Amino acid sequence: MTDAAHLPPADLLWATRDLPAPLALLDGVALEANLADLARRADGVPIRVATKSVRVRSVIDRALADPAFRGLMTYSLAESVWLADLGHDDILLAYPTVNAPALRDLAAEQHRLDAITVMVDSLDSLDAIDGVLGVRHPTVKVCLDVDASLRLGPIHLGVRRSPVHSVKDARRLAEAIARRPGFDLAGVMFYDAQIAGLPDSSPAVRLVKKRSAAELAERRSLVVAAVGAVTDLRLVNAGGTGSLEVTGADPSITELTAGSGMFCPTLFDGYDAFEARPAAFFALDVVRRPARGIATCFSGGYVASGPAGDSRVPTPVFPEGLSLIGTEGTGEVQTPVTGHAARQLRPGDRVLFRHAKAGEMCERFDTVAVVDAPGRGKVETHPTYRGEGKNFG
């Protein structure tokens, strides 16, 4: 990592010193470098922006201004409708939905139906849509979610998403969708969480990822061929921030997806394929010193989702040499930090933290301060989804 690719933490704090904390910050220099690195790793394959990992419209638009990025992958149908109404015309919903008001909103406007592709993984998904809209409804574009996990006998490596795993599973469901009035099967998706979301922490992990990538590449091409024989596939989506090089080399796909790689939270440290360049932070004010080696910050209990453990807890990164106290961690109203640097902190000083995940940080803040220049820095404040009054779960 070079100095030209990110701003020093001290500059981020100096540039935002007059903004009240708790404060979300984005290093705009690092963000631009991360966008360029994602594009490099994709090697010409279009990248769909995963909105759940961003949740700031100005940052989403900033990514889409780069020709390497095309379209959105959303996490909520209500979010998809909102973004379609704001002018986005290529939206892939990543998860099946049973949200009745959002489904009715989708069907109410042709521009929404044209823009949004809904994820399905079973006939139950179709039944849920028919149950809300009736059996005679405008045509809804759908994408088939195919389970991309690695299965070794009884061992399941990866997230548990779709019940569709085999080529036979995919072909049968594709044929059923093709026969079903009111649905247009437009694509297939494969999310390889056991590759894209797993740091290269050991030789065993690297071996499993390599084996999974080989198995998935073979199965994915067979699934695409089988489903493509049933319908006109307009998209084959796959991959994530941690697997762009591997997945992008597969000629059967048409696009990749990335989001977390823009912000590079702590869960994306430790990959062999790229060096994480942190771009997202939050700052907390020091409000007291209960002991010589402890400084207490206001707020900060922004623990990430997933299996409970140290990997989901925010990390103090500046001043260097700080750590959390194991018996308290990050708290709802206070977060004590310790270490040699804590002895120099006084009330009114600020501590910079990194979140464990990307977009979840933005659910805690109405705005983010984007620092876009070296030195003293140019600062602009942008609303998050939450700041725009939107909460999609």
The DSSP symbol for 336 reads E
Give the tens place of pLDDT for each residue, 160-209: 889 999 999 999 999 999 999 999 999 999 998 888 777 888 888 888 88
Give the tens place of pLDDT for each residue, 51-71: 999 999 999 999 999 999 999
Amino acid at 11: D
Q: Does the structure show a pLDDT above 80 at 384?
A: yes
Secondary element (H or E) of residue 173: helix 167-179
Rounded to whole angstroms, the Cα distance separating 317 from 283 reads 10
Q: Where are the domains of the chain?
A: 28-260
Which bin fits 300, alpha (ψ -120 to 50), beta or left (φ > 0)? left
Q: Tokens for 63?
A: 């990514």
Amino acid at 97: T
Asked if 206 contacts 272 with a C-beta cutoff of 8 angstroms, the reply is: yes
Q: Which of 236, 104, 127, 222 shows the shortest CA–CA distance to 183?
A: 127
Rounded to whole angstroms, the Cα distance separating 150 from 212 reads 6
Q: Does the structure show a pLDDT above 70 at 389?
A: yes
Rounded to whole angstroms, the Cα distance separating 221 from 146 reads 12
Quick one: CATH architecture of 28-260?
Alpha-Beta Barrel (3.20)
Give the tens place of pLDDT for each residue, 318-329: 999 999 999 999
Asked if 77 contacts 98 with a C-beta cutoff of 8 angstroms, the reply is: no
The confidence band for 375, taking pLDDT boundaries of 50, 70 and 90, is: low
Q: Tokens for 300?
A: 């900060």
**Side-chain half-sphere CA neighbours of 172 within 13 A:** 9
Give the tens place of pLDDT for each residue, 72-129: 999 999 999 999 999 999 999 999 999 999 999 999 999 999 999 999 999 999 999 9
The DSSP symbol for 245 reads H
Q: Does the structure show a pLDDT above 80 at 252?
A: yes
Q: What is the pLDDT of residue 377?
A: 67
CA of residue 303 relative to chain centroid, distance: 16
The confidence band for 157, taking pLDDT boundaries of 50, 70 and 90, is: confident
Q: What is the pLDDT of residue 1?
A: 40
Asked if 276 contacts 27 with a C-beta cutoff of 8 angstroms, the reply is: no
Neighbours of 5 (CB within 10 A): 17
Rounded to whole angstroms, the Cα distance separating 61 from 383 reads 13
List the beta bridge partners of residue 49: 72, 258
CA of residue 361 relative to chain centroid, distance: 11
Secondary element (H or E) of residue 26: strand 23-27
CA distances from 227 to 5, 170, 220, 342 (A): 43, 7, 10, 59
pTM of the model: 0.94
Query: For the chain, what is the mean pLDDT?
Result: 94
Q: What is the pLDDT of residue 2?
A: 41
Q: What is the pLDDT of residue 378?
A: 85
Q: What is the pLDDT of residue 200?
A: 83
Q: Which of 1, 26, 18, 88 shows the shortest CA–CA distance to 352?
A: 26
Rounded to whole angstroms, the Cα distance separating 112 from 125 reads 19
Higher pLDDT, 278 or 378: 278
Phi, psi of 318 (to 5 degrees): -155, 130
Q: What is the pLDDT of residue 376?
A: 61
> Of 192-201, 232-241, 300-309, 352-361, which range is least confident?
192-201
Over residues 295-301, mean pLDDT: 97
Q: Which of 294, 275, 277 shows the shortest CA–CA distance to 286?
A: 294
Q: Is 134 helix (H, G, I), strand (E, B) or coil?
A: coil
Q: Tokens for 89?
A: 């015309």
Q: Which of 249, 164, 158, 223 shows the shortest CA–CA distance to 196?
A: 158
